[in-house]
Chains A and B, each alone.
Chain A
Amino acid sequence: MPDATMPTNVIDPTKWVDRYSDYLFNYTIVRVNDRDLANDIISETFLAGLKSMKNFKGEASERTWLISILKRKIIDYYRKINSRKGSAEVRINYNDENNEGDWLEEQAPDRFELNAEDLLENEELGLAILSCMEHLNEKQARIFKMKTIEGFDTEAICNEFNITPSNLWVIIHRARTTLAECLEKNWF
Chain B
Amino acid sequence: MSQKIKSIFISCSDSVQCCDRAQYDEATIFEKIKIYIHIAICKACREYTNKNVKLTKLIKKSNLKACTKEEKEKWEKEIAREAKK
Contact = CB atoms under 8 A, between A and B. Distances in A.
Chain A interface mostly: helix
Chain B interface mostly: helix
Contacts of B63: 106-107, 122, 126
Nearest to A43: B78
A180 B54 contact: yes
Interface string A119-155: 0001101100110000000000000011111100010
B47 to A, nearest CB: 10
Interface stretch (B1-9, B37-45, B69-77): B69-77
A183 interface: yes
A146 B64 CA distance: 12
A51 B85 CA distance: 10
B17 interface: yes
Contacts of B72: 17-18, 21
18 contacts: A13-B83, A14-B79, A14-B83, A18-B72, A26-B64, A29-B65, A122-B61, A122-B62, A123-B62, A130-B64, A149-B59, A149-B64, A149-B65, A149-B66, A150-B66, A169-B17, A173-B16, A176-B20
